[in-house]
Amino acid sequence: MKPVALITGSGKGLGACIAQHLASEGYKVVIADIDGVQAKKTAQLIGEDAMSITLDVSSEDAVEKALDTVEQQWGLPWLLVNNAAIMKAEKVLEISMGTFDSIMAVNLRGTFLLSQRFARRLRAADKKGRIVNIGSLAGQNGGTATGAHYAASKGAVHTLTKVFARDLAPHGITVNAIAPGPLDLPSVAETIGVENAKRAFASLPTGEPGRPETVARMVVEMARPDAGAMTGSIVDINSGLYMR
């Protein structure tokens, strides 16, 4: 039987790439995104091994319903990828509490909520599983001057990764994170502008942004059934911008 993976924010961008890669590796994939139209398109591109779900990761009810739907149709997933996130470029002095709260709600609350509810179900069924969180270089080095809310949310995602990993380690549920630097994705130019993105990519130590496929392959490795010893890790894919 094919393992099931639920990937949040997978209607487009990195999440869609991860979902496509997991499907090509033999997974059935749940494309869960607040943009249901985009989620459906991506699921259709993948084919019969994909289902789409409209999901706002910050809503407790929606998360429970989404997990119910997946469980009823395909059974409990083996893998959860917390990828959904939002970002707005704003200087610290200009950030409104509305923006601050919405970024925290999606990036941090959403990651916590999905992880907790998924892990609860795994424990209730006495099953093992895998959680992979998509963090960010910004969560380690503060990122740019225009993303305090985003960087703080991602730093907290890295911390959640470690605490969930510690708590769930005795139960065969591993929790890891990937911390990408700039990726070769449209969202970078959408956030900081096309010219700034070009300049940023050119000035990277490696001279190239991260490839979404590299992140997707790392997800597959972290999710392997025989990778049970890998937990609480935060793997950097950041073009040499930050070395711990």
Ligand X SMILES: NC(=O)c1ccc[n+]([C@@H]2O[C@H](COP(=O)([O-])OP(=O)(O)OC[C@H]3O[C@@H](n4cnc5c(N)ncnc54)[C@H](O)[C@@H]3O)[C@@H](O)[C@H]2O)c1
- Tell me the chain's radius of gyration from C-alpha atoms: 17
Binding segment for ligand X among 32-40, 93-101, 121-129, 220-228 (CB under 6 A)?
A: 32-40
Under rule CB under 6 A, which residues in 45-64 are in contact with ligand X? 55-58
Question: Does 175 contact ligand X by CB under 6 A?
Answer: no
- Regarding 200 and contact with ligand X (CB under 6 A), the answer is no
- The answer to the question of residue 86 lying near ligand X (CB under 6 A) is yes
For residues 144 and 154, what is the distance between their CA atoms, to the nearest angstrom?
Answer: 13
Alpha helices in 125-193 (DSSP H): 138-141, 148-168, 186-192
- Do 63 and 114 touch, CB atoms closer than 8 A? yes
Judged by CB under 6 A, does residue 77 bind ligand X? no
Per-residue tokens: 153 = 């949310």
Site for ligand X in 2-21 (CB under 6 A): 8-9, 11-15
Closest CB to ligand X among residues 203, 225 = 203
CA dist., res. 96 & res. 93, Å (int): 9
Q: Does 235 help bind ligand X (rule: CB under 6 A)?
A: no
By CB under 6 A, the residues from 123 to 142 that bind ligand X are 134, 136
Q: Which of 72, 150, 164 is nearest to 114 (CA)?
A: 164
Nearest residue (CB) to ligand X, 188 versus 234: 188
Q: Which stretch binds ligand X (CB under 6 A): 33-41, 120-128, 162-170, 199-207?
A: 33-41
According to DSSP H, which parts of the chain are helical?
13-24, 36-46, 60-74, 97-103, 110-124, 138-141, 148-168, 186-192, 194-202, 212-222
Q: Tell me, by CB under 6 A, how many residues bind ligand X.
A: 29
Residue of 27, 112, 118, 150 with catalytic role = 150
Nearer to ligand X, 101 or 228 (CB): 101
26 sits in the region (left: phi over 0; alpha: psi -120 to 50; else beta) called left
- 150 as an active site residue: the answer is yes
Catalytic residue ranges: 150
